[in-house]
Structure 1
Amino acid sequence: MSHNHANFDGRLEFIQRLLHQQFSCDVHNAKIDPIQYDPDSPFKYNNFVYRISLPSPPFTTYNGGSDRPRQPGTSPLPKGTKDFIMRLTNPDAEGMNQHTRVENEVAIISLAAAALSGFQPHVVPLVYGWGSAAAPSTQGWILQELMPGTPVDETFDSMPFDEKKGILAQMAAFLKALQDFKLPHSIQQYGGVTFDTAGQIVSTTMTSVGSGPWLSYEDYFTDRLERALQKTDSNPYIKGWHANDVRKRLDAFVKNGIPAQFKALDSKHEKTIVHADFTPNNLLYDAATQRITALIDYDFACILHPSYEFLRSFSGAGGQFQGWSDIESSEQTALRDAKLHGFPSPLPENTKDGVKWDVAKAWEDELESMGIQRPKTMKGIEKVADVDAVLRSILPWRVTNSDVLRLQSEAVILKCRDENEAQLIKLLDHIGF
């Protein structure tokens, strides 16, 4: 039995108990169905997501009554509503800070809802209630609105090109609204967000990092790299990258290289809402109206520089912006150059498993037409992307993730480790360290 499935019945019992005790729901004959759940998956899920269909509406609005204060970031349960989404945090998910992860997600949803309030019907799900994952709790949860539509990624590749362009235009409009949104003055730093005792949204630890907040974007990367290097010291395969003097070069890069890389970044003090997983699988779509109906899943969302969205999002629709790598295909190098300096004319041909040049160019055109900050207009983003490439190379997933390590032989792990060291050395050579 996989890790994910070990407590399957316990999670269902938790949901039933929660709905009954806190929302006065009739849970008899209620349908609670997992979404995108594979009981045999060897990889730990970050969250367990369920669709809930009740036989009758809840007897209480939970956040709308006079007997209890409304939780920050929530809305009253609409009368007559019987269908919901329940998100349960996985306490064993690797790399996820439990202390503020629910609070961060709810607070970011609140900010995103305000930023995207100009889109009607609304595209950010309402939150009806939540429970912290912080100790002594053993289970974090969010009860939220069931949004209409199906994931864009299920049909995007087979859509006519004009329909794809319509989706890209809507994505660009969302991104523009997120970039233009004026953050509350209570958010002073970079990283995660939470609620203070007065219900204001304030800076806190970043969920996917477990540290922060930071005074600057540069501080974020410095801290990430320092923590990554500390983790390598206890990895039996990497052994701190001390072989071949790689560690000395990495330490020098963290001390002197990061400041040099960030000197080139214009607008380095800007900060914005970053979804950090803004991809077709987190967009819901109504094919009949050709309208994006929702932007969902804010588990990795944070407050960082606008460039960070391009480093983490848009795979499958326009492409992430990645740092230098000598092992990437020449096609990927050409795409990065196109994002920085302009697309060639005529465009290269699309390849089966490679760059979809027509989609990438259409995405760039939409970004440009709306005046959105993007790699081409962010002077110095390629330097930041190289820092991010170092960060990714220090802790390669195939040599550090416990789920992946279980599936690989010792020989394969060591081969991955050696290949990654060679790439890391070439990357440091490229940067000048």
Structure 2
Amino acid sequence: MTDNHVNFQGRLDFIKNLLYREFNAQAREIIPVQYDPQCPFKYNNFVYRINLSSPPSGFRKHDLQQPGTVAVPEGVSEFIMRLTNPNADGMNPETRVENELAMIYLAATALRDLKPHVVPSVYGWGSAALPSSQGWILQELMPGAPLDETFESMPLDEKKGILAQMAQFLHALQAFQLPRSIKQYGGVTFDDSGSIVSTAMTTVGSGPWPSYEDYFRDRLERALKKADSNPYLKGWHANGVRERLEAFVKSGVPEQFKSFESRHDKTIVHADFTPNNLLYDASTRRITALIDYDFACILHPSYEFLRSFSGAGGKFQGWSDIESTEQTALRDAKLHGFPSPLPADTGNKVKWDVAKAWEDELEKLDVKRPRTMKGIEKIADVDAVLRCILPWRVTNSDVLRLQSEEVIMKCRSENEAQLIKLLDHLGF
């Protein structure tokens, strides 16, 4: 039995009891969403579609004051329930639910002029902070089907319409004026008065940070400590790599940020803004929802491009010796302008027509993007070093369990070679 499926019935029982206790409601049907009981990788959350026997009759009295929530609309009996997975790799529980709730609230406020609304309302939640607590969020069931199921096969004109809407969302998120109570970079939570304030970042477990540069420096330092405890990486002490990495953290990171003119900007970052987190109505050709704020945070606008848009324009990535010439050309196009005519589609990962369409839609709205962020390529290189220090194939517990010792060591060797070439590229 996989890790995900171990407590399947226990989760269903938890939901039934929670609905009765918190909402005086009984579940008629609880349906797992995008759930594979045989999946070898741990889910970050378990998501369920809830159908109630009848609309809920109300909250407990104190829940009316829960920050980030609204009352359940009259007559509604279908919902989405999200349960945090306490065994998920790299997800820190202390303010995990609170961060997601606060980011949903901020995103909903930033996108409030869109009609109909695209950010799900939240009706109740429970923190995952205590070891014995199960984090949960009860939220609005949004209309539409997952966009990633059909986006690839759509004609280009329909894709352009979707990209135009995505650009509109991103523009609004970037333009939103953050509350003054959010003073730093990283995660967010609610203080005792209900204000949204800075806190540790869910996917890091540290922070908040006074600057974007401090975020990366801390991430790199923490990555090196984790590498020390990894039996395969052994802190990258072999072949002098560790000394080079420490030198880069100390003097290379500040140097990379010197030419990054907009380094003090900060904004709402979804950090997983991709077709699989968009719902779509094919009959109206409208995006109906932007969902899943588990990774969302407050960081520089560039971070969205480093983490999002795979499958719809592509992530902006740092230098790598193993990337194709075509990928290098795409990065150059995002920085300096796309060639005309576009390169022919060779069937590889780069979809030039979609990437160009995405750039065009961003330009129409003057969205902050790689071409307008002078020095972003240097920040992407810092991010590339961070990714290389803790390669997924050699650090993820699920991946390690599925691979032989021989394969793991081969991956480790390949990654060391890539890391050395990256440090050579950076002059360290």
The separation in 2 between residues aligned to 1:242 and 1:413, in whole angstroms, is: 18
Q: Name the counterpart of 2:38.
A: 40
Q: Do residues 59 (structure 1) and 54 (structure 2) align?
A: no
CA shift for structure 1 position 353 = 3.4
> Is 1:198 the counterpart of 2:196 in the alignment?
no
Find the aligned partners of 1:14 and 1:172 in 2 and give their Cα distance: 39
Q: What per-residue deviation string (whole Å, max 9, x for no partner) do you get for residues 183-234 of structure 1?
A: 0000000000000000000000000000000000000000000000000111
Percent of pairs identical after alignment? 75
CA deviation digits over 1:343-363, x for unaligned, max 9?
Answer: 011101123232110000000
**Residue type of the alignment partner of 1:410:** E
Structure 2 matches for 1:248-267, cutoff 5 A? 248-267=243-262
- Are the aligned partners of 2:63 and 2:124 in contact in 1 as well (CA < 8 Å)? no
Q: 1:411 and 1:2 mapped to 2: Cα distance? A: 24
Stretch deviating more after TM superposition (195-204 or 347-356): 347-356
The one-letter code of the counterpart of 2:237 is H
Alpha-carbon distance between aligned partners in 1 of 2:94 and 2:403, rounded to the nearest angstrom: 32
Rounded Cα–Cα distance in structure 1 between residues aligned with 2:53 and 2:64: 27
Q: Does 1:345 align with 2:340?
A: yes
Q: Distance in 1 between matches of 2:346 and 2:6?
A: 41
Q: How far apart, in 1, do the equivalents of 2:123 and 2:35 lie?
A: 23
TM-score, structure 1 normalization = 0.98
Distance 1:87 1:351 in 2: 40
Match for 1:387: what amino acid?
A: V
Matched, 1:180 2:175: yes
Opposite residue 83 of structure 2, the aligned amino acid is L
Q: Aligned partners of 2:98 and 2:345: how far apart in 1?
A: 42
User: Does 1:221 pair with 2:216?
Assistant: yes
1:5 paired with 2:26, answer: no
Distance in 2 between residues matched to 1:68 and 1:334, nearest whole Å = 53
Match of 2:22 in 1: 22
**1:267 Cα deviation from its structure 2 partner:** 1.2
Q: 2:231 aligns with which of 231, 236, 239?
A: 236
Contact 2:64 2:71 in 1 (8 A): no
Q: Is the 8 A contact 1:233 1:239 kept in 2?
A: yes
Unmatched 5+ stretches in structure 1? none
Residues 236 and 136 of structure 1: CA distance in aligned 2, closer, same or farther (over 3 Å): closer
Correspondence for 1:84: 79
User: How large is the RMSD of aligned CA atoms in angstroms?
Assistant: 0.9
| Aligned pairs for 1:269-280 within 5 A | 269-280=264-275
Aligned residue identity for 1:339: K
User: After superposition, where does 1:277-288 map in structure 2 within 5 Å?
Assistant: 277-288=272-283
CA contact (8 A) 1:270 1:306 kept: yes
Aligned residue for 2:342, secondary structure, equals: coil
* Structure 2 counterpart of 1:22, one-letter code: E
CA distance in 1 between counterparts of 2:57 and 2:108 reads 26
Deviations 1:231-276 (A, max 9, x none): 0111111000000000000000000000000011111111000000
Matched length: 428
CA distance in 2 between partners of 1:140 and 1:210 (Å): 17
Structure 1 position 157, deviation (Å):
1.0
The answer to whether the Cα contact below 8 Å between 1:91 and 1:138 also exists between their aligned partners in 2 is no
Map 1:32-431 → 2, pairs under 5 A? 32-60=30-58, 62=59, 69-431=64-426
Gaps of 5+ in 2: none
**How far did residue 68 of structure 1 move?**
5.2
Secondary structure of the equivalent of 2:358? helix
Whether the 8 Å CA contact 1:323–1:386 is kept in 2: the answer is: yes
**TM-score, L = length of structure 2:** 0.99
Distance in 1, matches of 2:363 and 2:416, equals 38
d(CA) in 1 for partners of 2:396 and 2:131?
A: 27
